[in-house]
Amino acid sequence: MPVIELTIGEHDRKTDPAILKAMHESATGGHTGYSTIPGTDGLRDAVAKRLATMTGVATERNNVVITAGGQAALLAAHMTACDPGDAALYIDPYYATYPGTIRATGAMAVAVTARAERGFQPSLADLEEACEARSLLINSPNNPTGAVYSRTKLQEIAEFTRERDMWLISDEVYDTQVWEGEHVSPRALSGMESRTLVAGSLSKSHAMTGSRIGWLVGPEEAISHAINLATHTNYGLPGFLQDAGEFALQQGPALEDTIAAPFRRRHKAVNAIFSREDLNVVPSVATMYVMVDIRATGMTGIEFAEALLDEHLVAVMPGESFGKAAAGHVRVALTVDDAALEKAALVIAEFYWNCAGGARTAAVSG
Ligand code: PMP
């Protein structure tokens, strides 16, 4: 029996054939030598245009450096913002690479807890308790929790960074996966353009995880430092991949919507199943993930995920792999076809109630 794999944040569809065709034509057309280090003009312009359209903030080619995925953009952002020994804040729960990425720059990674009880939104009080720091890394829409920070919350965070003269590093790789309301980039908030570095990528928005095309966007001077870093690390990304990325962006929001559509549908369906089955789900209106609070079972997320895999061949991520704040939760990636996913959701619900013992009956009758 095959395992239903709901761990990795990767689409069950492959990169669009038209994008692959553009990649092939670029390569056979000769774009196989060293490419321009900050990124091709065409791709940088396409990224600048996308961000300007989405946020209303004027963005030029010189505000953009192309990186090997959003991951390398996160590293470049911290290399740019922090000196060795500086404290760099990040919010827990977090995408698993964050602390290691910060440490790789020589900065000190300091977690600020966003509590489950507050829908995993960081509170100003918790931020203010953190030590003095050079930067704050946020991620909205959020992996793993699916939380989206409201405009008010982002304004509060922006004010916090302005008062302390910090960089705000905004990981927006899920900017096309907001199912209700809008994606707000803190770079668009008043006074924030000069201190915000936005990490983005084509991985999630265009089903191009393996092409490793991302970007860092920010003030021109900061980006010039990130370009120096690019010279001494990748020395530019493959030109044919960048041409394919440019082609992908030229397709505009229509292609992005097509790629997001299955996750929009599945997010609704899985939430409906879990709600009908009385599971405690982290409220969310975004991303390709649903997070379930399994604390009532008395198990850790790791124990729950391991037993679910052993006994029912359904693989989910334990919350603990995203930090202490997500302990006692599991993250379900919506990355298999609808029928298999709905079947897996029912299996998870039944397993949950088996583990939680009589709790459901008590909850219903009491
Ligand atoms: N940030 C977040 C929040 C992510 O979930 C991921 C990938 N899962 C990344 C950044 C990096 O993505 P990539 O390097 O593929 O663009």
DSSP state letters, 5-38: EE-S---SSPPPHHHHHHHHHHHHTTTTS---TT
Structure tokens at 354: 């088996």
**Residue % of the chain over a pLDDT of 70:** 98
Angle at 57 between CA 54 and CA 63, to 5 degrees: 105
pTM attached to this predicted model: 0.96
- Between 41-55 and 239-250, two packed helices, what is the crossing angle to 10 degrees? 30
Which of ligand 1's atoms lies nearest the C-alpha of 214?
Answer: 16
Q: How does pLDDT run across 133-156, given as a tens digit for each residue?
A: 999 999 999 999 999 999 999 999
CB-based burial, 278-312: b 16+ in 10 Å, e otherwise: ebbbbebbbbbbbbbbbbbbebbbbbbbeebbeeb
Ordered by where they begin, the domains of the chain are 4-12+254-355 (3.90.1150.10), 32-251 (3.40.640.10)
Average pLDDT score over residue span 308-326: 98
Average pLDDT score over residue span 174-198: 97
Q: Is 199 helix (H, G, I), strand (E, B) or coil?
A: strand
Q: Is the CB of 9 under 6 A from ligand 1?
A: yes
pLDDT band at 67 (very low <50, low <70, confident <90, very high): very high
Average pLDDT score over residue span 3-10: 96
Residue 362 has pLDDT above 80, yes or no: no
Residue 102 has pLDDT above 50, yes or no: yes
Residue 361 has pLDDT above 60, yes or no: no
**Residue % of the chain over a pLDDT of 90:** 96
- Which residue's alpha carbon is nearest to atom 12 within ligand 1? 70
What's the N-to-C CA distance of the chain in angstroms?
Answer: 39
Q: Is the CB of 205 under 6 A from ligand 1?
A: no
Q: Is the CB of 69 under 6 A from ligand 1?
A: yes
Structure tokens at 233: 């690390």
Q: What is the mean pLDDT of the chain?
A: 96
Residue 365 has pLDDT above 60, yes or no: no
Contact 351, 288 (CB under 8 A): no
Q: 359 CA to middle of ligand 1, Å?
A: 37
pLDDT at 111: 98
Q: 71 CA to middle of ligand 1, Å?
A: 6
What proportions of the chain, in percent to the nearest 5, are helix, strand and coil? 50, 15, 35
Q: How does pLDDT run across 194-246, given as a tens digit for each residue?
A: 999 999 999 999 999 999 999 999 999 999 999 999 999 999 999 999 999 99
Q: 198 CA to middle of ligand 1, Å?
A: 13
Q: Is the CB of 93 under 6 A from ligand 1?
A: no
Q: Is the CB of 95 under 6 A from ligand 1?
A: yes
pLDDT band at 366 (very low <50, low <70, confident <90, very high): very low
pLDDT band at 350 (very low <50, low <70, confident <90, very high): very high
Q: Which of 292, 258, 272, 135 is nearest to 199 (CA)?
A: 135
Residue 364 has pLDDT above 50, yes or no: no
